[in-house]
Structure 1
Amino acid sequence: MTTQPTPPSAKLNLRGAVDLGALAARNTRREEVARRAAADPDAVTQGSPFVVDVTEETFAELVQSSVQVPLVLDLWAEGYDTGAEALQALADEYAGAFLLGRIDAQAEPGLAQSLVQSLQARAIPLVAAIVKGQPIPLFTGSYPTAEEIRPVLEEVLRVAEANGVTGRVEGAATAAEAEPAAPPVPPLHAEALAAVEAGDFDAATAAWTKALAQDPRDAEATEGLARVGVLRRVAGVDLAQARAAAADAPDDVQAQIVVADLDLVGGHVEDAFARLLGIVQRTVGEDRDAARTHLVDLFSVVGATDPRVVKARQALTRALF
């Protein structure tokens, strides 16, 4: 069974959360890691500066380091460690954006027991993140695939950035120097991202719209435009008042849409989806259509391949038919 990360209480801001240049570089490195793994399956798990073995003696220091670099912990045991290679390959692929700490439950039983209890977990393998000393449960039991793990890691990195944790693992610069140069970011993409960083949502909207006019199949522009739409809608909204209004009027579609947007910006993706799915399930006519349309728009914000989107899209289909 897998669970998605529960972000810390700090509000997650989508501004700057998607760096297309970094994503392009990461895709290049992903291909490199895949080639190395095919040639030598052990190559991605040995000698990496981004993977460390954790003991009781080193645990406290690593947790302290999570104020600078996100820490992902992999608690494993012989006979239960099925698929950890995917995590280690991803640590190499992300090249220092997070540190992967491996804990052998049999060698470190005290540490393993403390971690399981603190996270209220029921099984190992257990994977969790730590950001600024705060634990974020990710998943337990059998490992998901690398493609399923990746969006979870992206969410952890967004939470970390929202909390000011933007450092990199020491030694990452040296590894990055060996990477092939990333393809340049398209000018209109760069213009839109710069506008979002500056808080100029009108300019960002215009740039993304131009990019889509040039290439209607530009998925990054489609997602960027959807993100700007969310940021524009929640700008200046009082969170407490919005939640109170939604609680007082559970079938007020517009009130629920506002809170769904706030949930999404706050990193509570599944809550946002569930709120709108509830409206679709219990209303008809224009209200139902408005909730459905907005939910599909939020799918674009998160990304079509995100497992949470896939799950919510299936639920939407069941609700409609």
Structure 2
Amino acid sequence: MTGAVDLSVLKERADAARNRPATPQAPRPPAGNDGAGTVAAVPAVVEVTEATFEAEVIARSDQVLVLVDLWATWCEPCKQLSPLLERLAEEASGQWILATIDIDANPRIAQAFGVQSVPTVVAIAQGQPVAAFQGVQPAAQITAWVDEILAKVGDRLTGLPAADGAEAPDPVDPRMAEAESKLDEGDFDGALAAYQALAQAEPGNVEAASAARNIEFVIRAQAADPSVVDTAAPDDIEGQFAAADVLLLNQRPDDAFDRLIALVRATSGDDRSAVRTRLLSLFELFDPSEPFVVSARRKLASALY
């Protein structure tokens, strides 16, 4: 696949997926067990904020079960439960980790979890909440609760990276692997449908949404008659859209963007809004720091205002 949109990364991921074992890697044994190797590099207890939530909780939960301790400084029961959870996390030796979150300092996280009272503890695996409890619980009950969760989801987690810097391989989402396989085989329609379904099911899946946008553009651009670049009338909006697609597919982003910016200047009302929307959607196909995107955005702003 060639053209303005570089999908080589997706192809490389598909190639890598084929070379990985068919079954996911088992979690690393706790430190101290036979064959355990070095101690995990990730701390047993991590203080998490809204800025670090994605990396420390969502991404980390692909490797290991993450217990999220939602607490507040004014909460007396929290002062009993949080130290207990921290001790249990240290004793777990990497089987699970604890992410502590002050709900007053991070209200959007509390809102996302629908927290009604604290303390609330939520278990996260593979980016999804799998169990929760509220209030203070005895250590034995918490341990049994965690063991039950690990029995159900533990074999799907890749394990933490070792302290010596050796990284566990990224887990393969079978749905992404299927979509990438279709793309690698040249089944653009099938790949598009797979990525769109995944993006709809997981609104936060940026990779799937980006892949769907890219493939949708390539399919649309390849369907256009290349001669439209020369034959489209200046006031033919759909024709100019197709011409811009062809130019972009042929590695001429400056010409594509300039054509639509000229159309913005020549239109008004709903037509101008439609052209602006199409232009912004084409910007999304590229890194926003690309010089030609930065330049085109400035020209668009000048044309609009």
Larger radius of gyration: 2
Note whether the superposition's TM-score is higher than 0.5. Answer: no
TM-score (norm 1): 0.42
TM-score (norm 2): 0.44
